[in-house]
Structure 1
Amino acid sequence: MTEVSSKDSFVLDANTFAKLHPKEFYRKFLTNNIRPDGRLLKKFRKTSINLNSLKSAEGSCVLKMGKTSVVCGIKAEVAAPRVDDPRKGYIVPNVELSPICSSIFKPGPPGELAQSISERIDKLFKQCKIIDLDKLCISEKNAVWVLYIDVVCLSYDGNIFDAALFSIISALKTLKLPEVNYIEEEGKVEATEERTISIELLSIPLSATYVVFDEKYILADPNEEEENLSSTSITFIYNEDHKLCGLSKLGGVPLSKELIQDCMTSAIERTDSLRQLLDTTIQQL
């Protein structure tokens, strides 16, 4: 008969421990002010953009934020103006999260997360006046431009709102519309040769998202696992003048003024760095 020493013990390897006890696994890292992916708590993932990637769109952007990647394409169509705004064009944002980007999403109509993000972006356009909608008017009461802004997630690993918003702003900066005239006698719109016009952005709001883990650790730019393990998320939206354009909080964990102020400072730095990335990328076109 073989005796087992009392000193012998069953030891889990790191991957197994992380799967069985994910929160405890994270705690062991966070107590040392580092995350399992090697980032510091307030460190954002590497972000890159590729502009004008879709030749069939009037403006486009492919964005990578860590392992989250999205493509934004803007299609412009001529339509009749809305009755309540005969001098303004309009914008229709849509975010798509399908099984292609992650198995957590199901085929069929847009899920709750996709709808929520689309609605938040639509609200942001209205509140921040990102585009002068009057500039989308071709002929009052007759014809306007409609911008269909579609964001498709290619790979999902958390923080889809920040990725979607930055891809939209980046695609808008590349937007080129055909120069057109409205022929009143014929009731139709005609393009003038091959000239194009750009649409100036009145504001460039960008976002920075954080989650709260264990009610005390603030993690910037959460990946999917961090989102699932955290009880609260908070998103700050700042424009180029460092004006707070939006603030949303999901979850009930109260945050101290000191923590909020710390996040606000970090968010301003993050959104500034994204604008700098956008400016640099445009200059290289």
Structure 2
Amino acid sequence: MAPLNSWEVIEPANYFKSFVDQSSRPDGRDWNTARPISVRVGSIGTAEGSATVRLGNTTIVCGVKAELCRPSLEHPTRGFVVPNVELYPCCSSTFKASLYNAGPPGEKAISTSQFLQRLLQNNEIIDYEQLCVVPNKWAWCLYCDILCLDYDGNLIDSSLLSLVAALLHLSLPTVNIDPDTEALSLSQKHTQKLTIKVLMLKLIDRL
């Protein structure tokens, strides 16, 4: 998290205008220079898939846990991907703490989670049917916990990058079903990777 400039806090409009007049940014970049990006997968050993993304001074980690569930009646051959963004005061003073950090997520965390959900569903980034195990009976539900460790802007871009990288790293176990009892068992000998159908990520460089 970059330290706040007192001028930025007191007069934010004039602060940013001074950089516009110089055709530069507060971190020293010019208009056409993107923030540096680094991606590391496998950062959480207990998750089925994980990734850590650093975009400028913003650091996001995403861990994916897979659970078997019942498909919805509306889409009996599709599974679920549930992104959940968490923003704690330790990553930025922008996010104020409630008593003992209790209570529901903040508005920015909720809106970012909802945006990622819509983005996955509306842009065919992932084919949800590959998460189906048995139509009308069993499907994978992927819980994607996205935690901001250090916040300095670009929340949506960095969260999306970490989510997609974690899904690409994801390995789903083989599901075996007993034909007599219909009992389920999981095998790690043969795992399944997800296919990302469309990956068109336009990085929007924000201050």
Q: By the TM > 0.5 criterion, same fold?
A: yes
Equivalence for 2:21: 31
Q: Does the CA-based 8 Å contact 1:74-1:150 persist in structure 2?
A: yes
Pair 1:152-2:152 in alignment: no
Question: For structure 1, which segment, 19-28 or 79-88, has the greater mean C-alpha deviation from structure 2 after superposition?
Answer: 19-28
Residue type of the partner of 2:54?
K
Cα distance change, pair 179–156 in 1 and its aligned pair in 2 (3 A):
same
Matched AA of 2:156: F
Query: 1:116-131 residue pairs with structure 2 within 5 A?
Result: 116-131=111-126
Aligned AA (2:104)? P
Aligned to 1:113, the other structure's residue is in SS state helix
**Quick check: which has more Rg, 1 or 2?**
1
Equivalent position of 1:172 in the other structure: 167
- Flag the 1:84–1:29 CA change in 2: closer, same or farther, 3 A: closer
Q: Matched residue of 2:203: which SS?
A: strand
Query: Aligned ranges for residues 37-48 of structure 1 at < 5 Å?
Result: 37-48=27-38
The one of 190, 195, 202 equivalent to 2:190 is 195
RMSD: 1.8
Deviations 1:146-189, CA, capped at 9 Å, x for gaps: 11111000111111000100111111111110011222422322
How many positions carry a matched residue from both structures?
A: 198
Per the alignment, residue 104 of structure 2 pairs with: 109
When structure 1 is superposed on structure 2, of 21-30 and 158-167 the one drifting more is: 21-30
Measure how far apart 1:52 and its partner are: 0.8
Gap regions ≥5 residues in structure 1: 1-14, 210-219, 223-285
Label 1:138 to 1:20 Cα distance change in 2 as closer, same or farther (>3 A).
closer
Structure 2 residue identity aligned to 1:113: K
SS at match of 1:41: coil
Q: Mark the CA change 1:83 to 1:184 in structure 2 (over 3 Å): closer, same or farther.
A: farther
Residue 190 of structure 2 aligns with an amino acid whose one-letter code is R
User: Could you tell me which amino acid in structure 2 is paired with residue 192 of structure 1?
Assistant: S
Look up the match of 2:70: 80
Mapped to 2, the partners of 1:127 and 1:101 lie a distance apart of 30
| TM-score relative to the length of structure 2 | 0.88
Q: TM-score, normalised by structure 1?
A: 0.65
2:78 and 2:178 map into 1 onto residues whose CA distance is: 18
Q: Is the CA contact 1:45–1:221 (under 8 Å) kept in the aligned structure 2?
A: no
> Does the aligned pair in 2 maintain the 1:63–1:69 contact within 8 Å?
yes
Give 1:114 deviation, angstroms.
0.8
Name the counterpart of 1:94: 84
